[in-house]
Amino acid sequence: MGTVAIIGGGPAGLMAAEAAVAAGADVALYDAMPSVGRKFLLAGKGGLNLTHSEPLEPLLSRYGARRTLIEPAIRSFPPTALRVWARELGVETFVGTSGRIFPTDLKAAPLLRVWLRRLRQTGVRFHVRHRWRGWDQEGKLLFTSPVGPQSVQADAVVLALGGGSWPHLGSDAVWTQILAKQGVPIMPLKPANCGFDVRWSEYFRTKFSGHPVKTVAITAKTVDRIVIRHMGEFVVTANGVEGGIIYMISATARDVITTEGAATIWLDLVPDRSLRRLVENLSQTRGKRTMATHLKRRAGIMGIKAGLLREVVPHEAFTDPARLAAVLKALPLTLVAPRPLEEAISTAGGVSFEALDARLMLHSFPGVFCAGEMLDWEAPTGGYLLTGCLATGHLAGGAAAAWARRHPGCS
């Protein structure tokens, strides 16, 4: 049969446990927190976005430079298989208007509850409040637990310890120090799907912090000067901007800031109108109306969009319809820094894929596999993150069970 220890009770670890027990392994799962799936539950509070319905080829492109490395895992457990898996748990899914896939009740808790019940019924044993500390002198897994230090022998191990964001939910990235001391190449962790600092005026910060900016398009340029554009919305914060389409360009903006010290993005505040039409609209006689009323009537600009315009654009530009229309279609906003790692939705960096074989096993630690966000990949929100975590967990769990069966007592 073979024994498999899963370390980490997030989506990747739980899926690794499921795949391993399905392959006939004797599975025990260890987590440092009092309960498993905490980040999964929090992420699902606004509606659990399981995966995405777009065809596999464009979906794989969302993984950027790491696509070729994470692709085998996703092809082995694609979104279609994920929906079948959910249905087998008794959870039906639907495709939203954006193409994202959700449980019909939009909630994470019911899915997690039935998932944990099935895992226990199939024999997975859970050990919470067990914090992994590496290996002892005999090569056994070492944990601190409520009853003191514990050493555990397993035939294979899956590490699914998460990244470095939201550490209060368990992803504290202490594992980076443990593995680095063992010579495992670790790429530095960086915030992904994160907000950014903007140097707002005190007036703008006080008046508009917390306000959403809806129906806009954002244009950004990569370090290689490739232009990217996304439509959607975001939120102004006291520090800068976050949410929605900001997350879609976060990897690009973060890398440009690292290279150049700051990143400029351009906001199209009226994406449903052409520049020519906007010039015509704004060129109409204003009469005795205020500029605020004129912008509202002729361009639909009011509230926070008007605030953004006045925050960025010099006063003299408001007297020139062509110049004003141009900045409404491409309002420059300077991002000066990504928000701290612990605030990010996810992290980039982690265990280098070059340290792993095709089954996600560490070259330097035969029988030890890695999965989920602790691997060096990133993807935007929209179901891509969870898809990657579940797919790598599924691959690593099945491979760990096969290893344990063939190499009992070797890890």
Supply the pLDDT for residue 391. Answer: 97
Q: Does 374 share its domain with 243? A: no
pLDDT tens track for 349-406: 999 999 999 999 999 999 999 999 999 999 988 899 999 999 999 999 999 999 999 8
Is residue 64's pLDDT more than 80?
yes
Give the CATH number for residue 111: 3.50.50.60
Supply the pLDDT for residue 87. Answer: 96
Beta strand ranges found along 237-382 (DSSP E):
240-242, 263-268, 331-335, 337-338, 346-351, 368-370
Find, among 15, 113, 78, 72, the residue nearest to 372 by Cα. Answer: 15
Residue 65 binned pLDDT confidence (cut-offs 50, 70, 90)? confident
Is residue 39's pLDDT more than 80?
yes
Is residue 120's pLDDT more than 60?
yes
Q: Does 276 share its domain with 213? A: yes
**37 Rama class: left (phi>0) / alpha (psi -120 to 50) / beta:** left
Report, as an integer, the average pLDDT of 279-303. 88
Report, as an integer, the average pLDDT of 125-134. 97
3-state secondary structure of 124: coil
CA gap 169, 36 in Å, rounded: 9
Q: Does 268 share its domain with 361? A: no
125 occurs within a structural domain = yes
Report, as an integer, the average pLDDT of 310-331. 91
6 and 158 in contact (C-beta within 8 Å)? yes
Q: Does 187 share its domain with 202? A: no
| Runs of H (alpha helix) within 269-330 | 275-283, 291-299, 303-312, 321-329
Q: Does 134 share its domain with 222? A: no
Q: Which residues contact 154 (CB under 8 A, 6 or more apart)?
A: 3, 4, 5, 28, 141, 404, 411
Is residue 410's pLDDT more than 70?
no
Supply the pLDDT for residue 42. Answer: 83
Is residue 137's pLDDT more than 70?
yes
Q: Which residues contact 23 (CB under 8 A, 6 or more apart)?
A: 397, 398, 401, 402, 405
Whole-number percent of the chain with pLDDT over 90: 84
Q: Does 321 share its domain with 368? A: no
Q: Does 315 share its domain with 368? A: no
- Single out the residue in 338, 359, 391 at which a domain terminates: 338
Number of domains composing the chain: 2
Report, as an integer, the average pLDDT of 54-61. 95
172 occurs within a structural domain = yes
Whole-number percent of the chain with pLDDT over 70: 99
388 and 379 in contact (C-beta within 8 Å)? yes
pLDDT tens track for 205-244: 999 999 999 999 999 999 999 999 999 999 999 999 999 8
Report, as an integer, the average pLDDT of 183-195. 96
Supply the pLDDT for residue 409. Answer: 66
- Single out the residue in 303, 338, 373 at which a domain terminates: 338
Supply the pLDDT for residue 316. Answer: 85
Q: Does 173 share its domain with 223? A: no
235 occurs within a structural domain = yes
Q: Does 257 share its domain with 383? A: no
Residue 114 binned pLDDT confidence (cut-offs 50, 70, 90)? very high
Return the minimum-mean-pLDDT range out of 66-75, 155-164, 241-250, 286-295.
286-295
Report, as an integer, the average pLDDT of 164-193. 92
Q: Does 308 share its domain with 364? A: no
- Single out the residue in 310, 338, 366 at which a domain terminates: 338
Q: Does 249 share its domain with 333? A: yes
Considering the entire predicted model, what is its pTM?
Answer: 0.90
Supply the pLDDT for residue 201. Answer: 96
387 occurs within a structural domain = yes
Strands of the 368-370 sheet, one edge to the other: 125-127, 26-30, 3-7, 156-159, 368-370
256 occurs within a structural domain = yes
Q: What is the DSSP letter of 127?
A: E
| DSSP β-bridge partners for residue 100 | 52
325 and 232 in contact (C-beta within 8 Å)? no
50 occurs within a structural domain = yes
| Residue ranges making up the domain that contains 105 | 3-191+347-406
Report, as an integer, the average pLDDT of 143-151. 95
Supply the pLDDT for residue 287. Answer: 81
7 and 368 in contact (C-beta within 8 Å)? no
411 occurs within a structural domain = no
Q: Does 281 share its domain with 250? A: yes
Q: What is the token pair recorded at 334? A: 């300077």
Is residue 273's pLDDT more than 70?
yes
